[in-house]
Structure 1
Amino acid sequence: MAQMASRSTAWTATEFGQLDLGDVRLNRRARTLMESMAAAPTASVPKACNGWGETMAAYRFFDNANVQYESDARRVQNALRKRLEKFGLTLEPSKTKLVAFGRFAPRNAGNSGRKRPETIYFLGFTLYCTQNLKGRFKVGMRTEKSRLRRSLANLQDLMRQARHLSIREQSEKLNRVLRGHYAYYGIAGNFRALLQVHRGVERYWRKMLSSRSRSGGVTWEAFHQIKTRFPLMRPKLHLPYRALQAIAVL
């Protein structure tokens, strides 16, 4: 703990030694705040800054950086590793890697004996190399498999918790979760994963309703009648190809 505290003090002295907010008291207070947060990097701001009840807000920024060219990526990686070593820190190997990706990646993968190029996992998506209808290279995006399994598991838990609610209340809860899922993962090329979640919810919902039915189960015909009255949100792309192209141009 003492070693961590000394590293935190050294880091804040290096980064904020010349900090000038126009007031000596504010400068001292800001450095103390940074030292508290650096000493407890995994704690929430209130826990890290215990006793700072009058502090209105504090921010910590993290960034997911991607570098396009291999030469730049290697230079940035080496520089970043050396800089972190000054503060007794290291890069997380599983979160930092060089990936051969782009329009020449499929050809290079074949020359290297691989069937397909590597993929990139970024913010819950799997990015992969593919082609559009004209045969030109494009970046494909789909829900990362572990995130997809987690979403389905969370929806199953929600249905178990809502088992004794009315069908109307169940559908409202499910639709709130589906709306949020579609809003985040509803990107061009990912419709199949959205549909997989929708169909999974239908199966689990019918199974849950059957488990509480006194007649021995809910037939698909009866379930379709329930869905007609209390429909589940259909998958929707909130960022279709045209909107995605506009963002890429910007």
Structure 2
Amino acid sequence: MDGKKQFFRCRVKTSKKKFRSKIRAMKEWIKTHRTMPLEQIFKTVNAKLRGHYQYYGVTDNTREVKNFLMQTKWLLFKWLNRRSQRRSYTLDTFFNGLLRTFPLLEPGIKVSLFYR
């Protein structure tokens, strides 16, 4: 075995059922509150993201937490474009304009399961 020690490690990952339910809840919130001012929408979404990161941001779950952020960005893009009859944002103006004006929190590991 190459002289390397092999250890079994159980990895923690968000369940698909909980992930889908959280995405569905975020979608419903954005859908119902899309008429609010942008500053207030992004402030509340950041608070929701912070709570999600603090609960699910553990070792080995980085991929799922980043996926939640990307899904949230796409939901914001979709529902903020439906605020009027014409398209408000292109992909470029949304990602390089609006998300620079109102940045979303980036995910990080909040709890390490190895070092206690």
Q: Answer yes or no: same fold by TM over 0.5.
A: yes
Q: Which residue of 2 aligns with 1:229?
A: 101
1:197 CA drift (Å): 0.6
Q: How many positions carry a matched residue from both structures?
A: 112
Is the partner of 1:140 in helix, strand or coil? coil
Deviation at 1:235, TM superposition (A): 1.1
Q: CA deviation at 1:232?
A: 0.8
Q: 3-state DSSP class of the match of 2:12?
A: strand
- Between the aligned partners of 2:66 and 2:9, the Cα distance in structure 1 is 22
Between the aligned partners of 2:42 and 2:5, the Cα distance in structure 1 is: 41
Per the TM alignment, residue 134 of structure 1 is displaced from its structure 2 partner at its CA by 5.9
Runs (5+) with no aligned partner, structure 2: none
1:183 matched to 2:54? The reply is: yes
- Whole-angstrom CA distance in 1 between matches of 2:86 and 2:79: 14
CA shift at 1:206, angstroms? Answer: 0.4
Specify which structure has the higher proportion of strand. Answer: 1
Matched, 1:245 2:86: no
**Structure number with larger C-alpha Rg:** 1
CA distance in 1, matches of 2:5, 2:49: 33
Partner of 1:164, secondary structure, is: coil
Q: For residue 164 of structure 1, what is the aligned residue in structure 2?
A: 35
CA distance in 1, matches of 2:89, 2:78: 8
Offset, 1:143: 0.4
Secondary structure, counterpart of 1:199 in structure 2: helix
Aligned to 1:153: 24
User: Structure 1: how far apart are the matches of 2:92 and 2:57?
Assistant: 29
Query: 2:82 is matched with which residue: 189, 200, 211?
Result: 211
Secondary structure, in 3 states, of the residue corresponding to 1:212?
coil
| Cα offsets for 1:77-132 (capped at 9, x unmatched) | xxxxxxxxxxxxxxxxxxxxxxxxxxxxxxxxxxxxxxxxxxxxxxxxxxxxxxxx
Distance 1:227 1:234 in 2: 12
Deviation for aligned residue 1:136: 1.6
d(CA) in 1 for partners of 2:11, 2:87: 44
SS in structure 2 at match of 1:156: helix
Opposite residue 30 of structure 2, the aligned amino acid is M
Partners of 1:219 and 1:150 in 2: CA distance: 28
1:212 offset after TM fit, Å? 1.2
SS in 2 for 1:234: coil
Q: Could you tell me how far 1:215 is from its partner in structure 2?
A: 3.3
Partner of residue 104, structure 1: none
The Cα RMSD (Å) is: 1.6
Q: Show structure 1 runs of 4+ deviating over 2 A.
A: 213-217
- Cα deviation, residue 214, structure 1: 4.3
Q: Displacement of 1:213 after TM fit?
A: 3.7
* Alignment equivalent of 2:13, drawn from 142, 157, 168: 142
Q: Deviation of residue 226 (structure 1)?
A: 0.4
Q: What is aligned with 1:193? A: 64
Q: How high is the sequence identity, in percent, across the aligned residues?
A: 25
3-state DSSP of counterpart to 1:138: coil
